[in-house]
Chain A
Amino acid sequence: MIGARNVKPSTDGKRKTRNDMILAAVLLLVAAASFLLWHFSRAEGESVTVKVGGTETAVYPLSEDREVEIIGGEDNEYRNVVVIRDGKVSVSEANCPDGICVKTRSASRAGESIVCLPHKLVIEVTGEKSEPGLDMTA
């Protein structure tokens, strides 16, 4: 052992292992608490907001089925196809390198989102109604 310490190695190791366990327990508890809080405070979604590079570009009601092609990028080279069906939104096609947005499961509740990082695209389900005249089941 180089760099002798005042504390015996075994005692020191035990202290660190104890600290490790406290750290892991605290993190898991905080995550579990936040997860429950988030989950139960979330309402059914009403509309789908499309944001490109942080700017809101379109809002669609979640209740109407549709398919929208979103073209972005400087030379219109980014392509994502957003599908709204049965109150759920998903990305069915994309030409991004990672394809994560296509693999992301469909979103239906307020606060859920689908992100396409390479295309700076965020599809967010919100609890706000996009069309006030359209009243679904109360």
Chain B
Amino acid sequence: MKNSKITRVAQLGLFTAVALILSYVESLLPPIWAAVPGIKVGLPNIIIILILYKAGFKAAAAVSLIRVSIVALLFGSVMTLAYSLAGAILSLTLMALCKRFDLFSTVGVSIVGGVSHNLGQILVAIGLFESVQIGYYMIVLAFTGTVAGIFIGLAGSLLLKRLEKFRF
């Protein structure tokens, strides 16, 4: 019993590391559209979806929060932490709800995750800057979030199939 707990922690740690590497890879990619900051493919979401389906909400939340905190620590500031946390929390909550009500496949869950991640960030930005104009970004981000979400979701379902026998 104790052993399995240790194994689980180690596995989650491993996946957190993979999510971090994906964050790093994403930061190396050129911006998709320089006019609108914050457009990202959301590569780490592949891992979050995998853990959400394999190990449940709590484990996914742990990995997501640790990832966001470390990324902010390494590449950002306290400000970007608030910004990313809002995105991560909103995204994870909505993805977990969609999964719970069994509405969508991983593709739909990933679209919800991608778009709501941006929405959370935009809401914080609007609050911080007291500028509704930033909402304009959300329109563009809804587009890119949907398209990226489809691909991330497909990658996630592929990964889930490959790791079908893997248990946390």
A interface, CB within 8 angstroms of B: 13, 16-17, 19-20, 23-24, 27-28, 30-32, 34-35, 38, 51, 53-54, 97-98, 100-101, 103-105, 111-113, 115, 117-118, 120, 122, 124
Contact of A23 among B35, B76, B104, B133 (CB under 8 A): B104
Cβ-defined partner of A124 (8 Å) among B103, B128, B133 = B133
One of B11-19, B42-50, B56-64, B138-146 at the interface = B138-146
B129 touches A115 (CB 8 A): yes
Total interface residues on B, using CB and 8 Å?
A: 38
The answer to whether residues A115 and B134 also contact, given A28-B143, A35-B139, A54-B129 and a CB cut-off of 8 A, is yes
Is residue B28 within 8 Å, beta carbon to beta carbon, of the partner chain? Answer: no
Residues of A within 8 A of B145 (CB): 27
Report whether A115 and B150 are in contact in the complex, using a CB–CB cutoff of 8 Å. no
Residues of chain B within 8 A of A105, CB atoms compared: 34-35
Q: Which residues of A contact B130 (CB under 8 A)?
A: 51, 54
CA of A118 to CA of B102, assembled, Å = 39
* A103→B111 contact, CB < 8 A: no
User: Are the C-beta atoms of B37 and A113 separated by less than 8 Å?
Assistant: no
The answer, among B34, B76, B133, B142, for a CB contact under 8 Å with A111, is: B133
Asked if A120 and B129 sit within 8 Å, CB to CB, the answer is yes
Chain B residues contacting A19 (CB-CB under 8 Å) are 103-105, 108
In the bound assembly, the distance between CA atoms of A27 and B150 in angstroms comes to: 12
Q: List 5 A-B contacts (CB under 8 A).
A: A20-B111, A35-B139, A38-B136, A117-B37, A118-B76
Alpha-carbon gap, A35 to B36, bound state (A): 14
Residues of A within 8 Å of B140, CB to CB, are 31, 35
Q: Establish whether residues B111 and A23, one from each chain, have CB atoms under 8 Å apart when the complex forms.
A: yes
B92 at the interface (CB under 8 A from A): no
Least CB distance from B109 to A in Å reads 9
Q: Chain B's nearest CB lies how many Å from the CB of A105?
A: 5
Please tell me if B21 contacts chain A, counting CB pairs below 8 Å: no
Q: Which of A31, A38, A98, A104 contacts B146 (CB 8 A)?
A: A31
* Chain B residue nearest in CB terms to A1: B164
User: A97 touching B79 by the CB < 8 A rule?
Assistant: no
Q: Given the complex, which residues of A lie within 8 Å of B139, measured CB to CB?
A: 31, 34-35, 38
B75 at the A/B interface (Cβ < 8 Å)? yes
Give the residue of A23, A32, A101, A113 whose beta carbon is less than 8 angstroms from that of B131: A113
**Contact partner of A20 among B77, B83, B107, B133, CB < 8 A?**
B107
Distance of B75 from chain A, by nearest CB (Å): 7
Q: State in angstroms the CA–CA spacing of A12 and B90 once bound together.
A: 27
Flag if B104 contacts A113 (CB, 8 Å): no
Q: 4 tightest A-B contacts by CB?
A: A20-B108, A31-B142, A54-B130, A100-B37
